[in-house]
Amino acid sequence: MATSLGTRMRADGLTQESSVQSTAKNNGEASNAPEAFLRWAGSKRQLVPLLQEYWQPTFVRYIEPFVGSGVLFFAISPTNAVLGDTNRELISTYRQVRHSFREVAELLATMTRDKDAYYTLRAMDAATLSMPERAARFIYLNRFCFNGLYRTNKQGRFNVPFGASKSGELPSLTLLESCARLLRRAKLVRGDFESVLDVSRTGDFVYMDPPYRVTAVRTFRQYSEGAFTEPDMTRLRRRMLDLKKRKVTFLVSYVESPEGRFLAKGFRVRLAQVRRNIAGFSGSRGPIREMLISWP
């Protein structure tokens, strides 16, 4: 039986006791369209107002094969969705929030923002934890790591440093409950983007925010799990052409770059300026242009 995550933390003097109810009160109230409870490097949170313009309530399903933090999914709150990602821990966390949000929130309520606590949790073997504990650990590390980056070493261990100065608070019970209600409307798939796109059909809306593969812009996204290779870009382009052929509406967001222009050829393109804070060095952070590639 897995040792309790909260017990381990308390044994090291790294937790603070508080009720789930008080955490929920302090961190906000539920709404019909809850905010995403995860951070994610390259998140399109700034672009959500523009991205929402491409969605129509008449679409049968919302499909997102690179879900990450799911900011557009939560903002739109569709009644039927398919969400996928190659990141096993991410999809597992969504499943635990969907089915056991209260247990996850109770664990988060015992944790405190603390550098030592962060590295203690990071060093734990996730395989020794229960599934709710594993989800709480993932959410905690995601909230307080550097820039919401997900990166692992060769052994598959999460190795992003602490960076919690401006990362906000841990998600509340109220927020997780609202997100759980939406996640119950979604099928969660852990796998390659092509396996998710296989289920798409006319009447669906597909949103894709693939990992960057840019030669001219060095971003932490290039070193994260799931970073694209050149063959992946070719596969994605081929799938975009296939969606058009099958008359499936789609939207792709990608940084303006030679790779982005390769994806965009023959499709509608809208440019939007955003500020990115995911570069490896602070001097290279700043505004970039995002390509919104769509069909029809």
Domains and CATH numbers, the chain: 5-295 (3.40.50.150)
pLDDT value of residue 277: 56
Residue with tokens 């799931």: 226
Looking at residue 238, its pLDDT comes to 98
Q: Residue 212 has what pLDDT?
A: 83
Give residue 190's pLDDT. Answer: 97
Cβ neighbours of residue 96 closer than 8 Å, sequence gap 6 or more: 103, 104, 131, 132, 134, 135
pTM: 0.85
State how far the Cα of 269 lies from the Cα of 264, in Å rounded to an integer: 7
Per-residue H/E/C for the chain: CCCCHHHHHHHCCCECCCCHHHHHHHHCCCCCCCCCCCCCCCCCHHHHHHHHCCCCCCCCEEEECCCCCCHHHHHHCCCCEEEEECCHHHHHHHHHHHHHHHHHHHHHCCECCCHHHHHHHHHCCHHHCCHHHHHHHHHHHHHHEHHHCCCECCCCCECCCECCCCCCCCCCHHHHHHHHHHHCCEEEEECCHHHHHCCCCCCEEEEECCCCCCCCCCEHHHHCCCCCCHHHHHHHHHHHHHHHHCCCEEEEEEECCHHHHHHHCCCEEEEEEEEECCECCHHHCEEEEEEEEEEC
Per-residue pLDDT of the chain (296 residues; tens, 9 = 90+): 344 565 555 554 444 433 333 333 333 333 478 999 999 987 788 999 999 999 999 999 999 999 999 999 999 999 999 999 999 999 999 999 999 999 999 999 999 999 999 999 999 999 999 999 999 999 999 999 998 888 888 888 999 999 877 788 999 999 999 999 999 999 999 999 999 999 999 999 999 999 987 554 444 444 445 567 899 999 999 999 999 999 999 999 999 999 999 999 999 999 998 876 554 434 445 688 999 999 99
How many CA within 13 A on the CB side of residue 89?
24
pLDDT at 21: 37
Please report the pLDDT score of residue 90 as a whole number. Answer: 97
